[in-house]
A and B are shown apart, each in its own frame.
Chain A
């Protein structure tokens, strides 16, 4: 009898351990490549693991911004036991087959900070609306430049990056509405070398002909902020993107008017939370109030707050509040856990 009891007890313990192991969520945060924008994903992974009791939450990135390398990395992460993914897709269409394959293994996949084209098996896309953010940023620039005919230049990121064309379109829409002329769009410069070379050359040759600059990618924002400081006369108004300290200092010192934030920390943190929930029985709510997006019908706008001289010193609080609000919104409006 004792032997039967201990056998049953042992079996129960093993079953419980197996169930616990099965329930353990291992989230991988994987961007399309190394980039300063994703630096906050590391601390966000650590915080998500602690706060949500995840088995693991790790930030892994391909060595170069190349779709093949991201695909290879994602496949190896499945083999390593990761069972939930928060991914910045390397390509809005090219990433879909691989992401579908990940979902096919039973792992929930959330597109973070950039979306993939429908149809896909991705649960949803959690990102700033790049087009709307660029539109509002341009509106802020137009306001800063004041009335009258104006000319602006637009410095932006990789054309292969899913958000770049949306940003170009957003800037163009705002400029067209206000009758502002975009005299130059320089793309594919989201790396220090091409950004320094092309922005420097453009401002040297044509800086006197423009009234404003809008930047919609991290590195061009940093490089253009430095250029504005070097020029020094504050005649050219500039709106940046993201929260690099160079940009924040330029806002403090008045060389840059403001910046459109994206809160990558909050995006990664909330994506880990949602991926864990989806893995443990929750579903995407049928009544989820998804927003409009050119690429997908399952878009959650993570917000794009505007930072300028009036609130640059309280940016951390802005991000924190945005993250808390996003977490609550995703849990209550977009997930169904009954």
Chain B
């Protein structure tokens, strides 16, 4: 079987401490501390209780969006439809709550199921047609979003129960309660990819599909499953957003759900995921999304013009990646000496 791991590349043997220092996760942690310190020096409000709660709520959603992309990257694919699926799941939830009057826990479960089903459709199309997931999800992004807009007439569902909305505003020890589901999902994904046969088979299918197939891995089924997990996670992200906004809004992820794409890729890629599949890091994706959140929040606090926010975010993230690369190169050179 091909290498199936969520651990950092160990091709350079060295003591564990150096392995940790070389890891993407440690680099991200350093960058979070670095930028956190920078933003705090510019604005003391950065670490205020209000901002910590706001940042943790945004991070909870960003992490989940990153996970939804990571699940597909694990099998060597990608999904441009995560935002569209999230918007569809949120609108389903809103419709079930407002029009059907279901209890909100049941509505949430059904919305997550819809997200997973839409994801699975992506996977089935990819496996059956042999087309790259880029093409498949580019098409379904428009398809899913278009059908959702047609069915809902682009109306916002505002009949969200107060209990659910108050969850979006709740804090536990100064941290947004939205972090709760995110941490649970994080733990579940660590177990899935690190300790279960299915998780390892998904990574194997992404690393070397042919080898995995020869080893008895049902690659097609793993791809469908990865897309289904991705859809379910996108739905959870969208539901956290519904709790935050108190309404299910068709444009919550931008037109066609495109506003999620940058966040969706940045988390896992910064976290060390290999885009060709087979290697991901759940903790890395978590920290990558936290870094993106810290940067977004800090740039807003620095009163960077709102129109320049995206440009600055991209530039600073590029710098962050280059700094991380330089750090790892430096440590590798020292390790070889």
Chain A residues at the B interface, C-beta cutoff of 8 Å? 60-64, 66-69, 71-73, 75-76, 78-81, 91-94, 96-98, 100-101, 105, 117, 159-160, 188
| In contact, A67 and B51 (Cβ under 8 angstroms) | no
* Chain B residue total in the interface (Cβ 8 A): 34
Q: How far is the CA of A76 from the CA of B296 in the complex (A)?
A: 10
Across the interface, name the chain A residue whose C-beta is closest to B169. Answer: A97
B174 CB within 8 Å of chain A: no
| In contact, A75 and B307 (Cβ under 8 angstroms) | no
Chain B residue numbers with a CB within 8 Å of A159 are 154-155
| In contact, A97 and B249 (Cβ under 8 angstroms) | no
Chain A residue numbers with a CB within 8 Å of B165 are 97
| In contact, B309 and A75 (Cβ under 8 angstroms) | no
B303 CB within 8 Å of chain A: yes
B246 CB within 8 Å of chain A: yes
Chain B residue numbers with a CB within 8 Å of A105 are 50
Q: Return A90 CB to nearest CB of chain B, in Å.
A: 9
Q: How far is the CA of A76 from the CA of B50 in the complex (A)?
A: 9
Q: How far is the CA of A84 from the CA of B76 in the complex (A)?
A: 49
| In contact, A97 and B45 (Cβ under 8 angstroms) | no
Across the interface, name the chain A residue whose C-beta is closest to B158. Answer: A93
A76 with B301, Cβ < 8 A, contacts A93-B247, A97-B246, A160-B249 known: yes
Give chain B interface residues in 133-181, CB to chain A under 8 Å. 154-156, 158, 165, 168-169
A97 with B50, Cβ < 8 A, contacts A67-B249, A76-B300 known: no
B245 CB within 8 Å of chain A: yes
Chain A residue numbers with a CB within 8 Å of B254 are 64, 66
Q: Return A38 CB to nearest CB of chain B, in Å.
A: 13
B58 CB within 8 Å of chain A: yes
Q: Return B314 CB to nearest CB of chain A, in Å.
A: 14
| In contact, A75 and B156 (Cβ under 8 angstroms) | no
A78 with B50, Cβ < 8 A, contacts A91-B245, A159-B154, A188-B154 known: yes
| In contact, B244 and A75 (Cβ under 8 angstroms) | no
Chain B residues at the A interface, C-beta cutoff of 8 Å? 43, 45-46, 48, 50-51, 54, 58, 154-156, 158, 165, 168-169, 241, 244-247, 249, 251-252, 254, 259, 296-297, 300-301, 303, 306-307, 309-310
Q: How far is the CA of A169 from the CA of B83 in the complex (A)?
A: 33
- Residue B54 contacts which of A75, A92, A160 (CB distance < 8 angstroms)? A75
Q: How far is the CA of A105 from the CA of B45 in the complex (A)?
A: 13
Across the interface, name the chain A residue whose C-beta is closest to B247. Answer: A94
- Residue B244 contacts which of A64, A71, A92 (CB distance < 8 angstroms)? A71
Across the interface, name the chain B residue whose C-beta is closest to A102. Answer: B50
Chain A residue numbers with a CB within 8 Å of B247 are 67, 91, 93-94
Question: 19 additional contacts, CB 8 Å, given A68-B252, A79-B54, A97-B244?
Answer: A66-B254, A66-B259, A67-B245, A67-B252, A71-B244, A72-B300, A73-B300, A78-B45, A79-B43, A91-B245, A93-B246, A94-B158, A97-B245, A100-B169, A105-B50, A159-B154, A160-B154, A160-B156, A188-B154
| In contact, B50 and A91 (Cβ under 8 angstroms) | no
Chain A residue numbers with a CB within 8 Å of B156 are 91, 93-94, 160
Q: How far is the CA of A161 from the CA of B277 in the complex (A)?
A: 43
A79 with B46, Cβ < 8 A, contacts A68-B245, A71-B245, A91-B247 known: yes
| In contact, A75 and B50 (Cβ under 8 angstroms) | yes
Chain A residue numbers with a CB within 8 Å of B168 are 97
Across the interface, name the chain A residue whose C-beta is closest to B154. Answer: A159
- Listed by A's residue number, 9 A-B pairs whose Cβ atoms lie within 8 Å are A63-B310, A66-B251, A66-B259, A68-B241, A79-B45, A79-B54, A93-B156, A94-B158, A98-B245
Q: Return B107 CB to nearest CB of chain A, in Å.
A: 17
| In contact, B241 and A80 (Cβ under 8 angstroms) | no
| In contact, A80 and B301 (Cβ under 8 angstroms) | yes
Q: Return B195 CB to nearest CB of chain A, in Å.
A: 35
| In contact, A60 and B306 (Cβ under 8 angstroms) | yes
Chain A residue numbers with a CB within 8 Å of B245 are 67-68, 71, 91, 94, 97-98
A79 with B306, Cβ < 8 A, contacts A67-B249, A97-B169 known: no
Q: How far is the CA of A98 from the CA of B50 in the complex (A)?
A: 12
Q: Return A33 CB to nearest CB of chain B, in Å.
A: 10
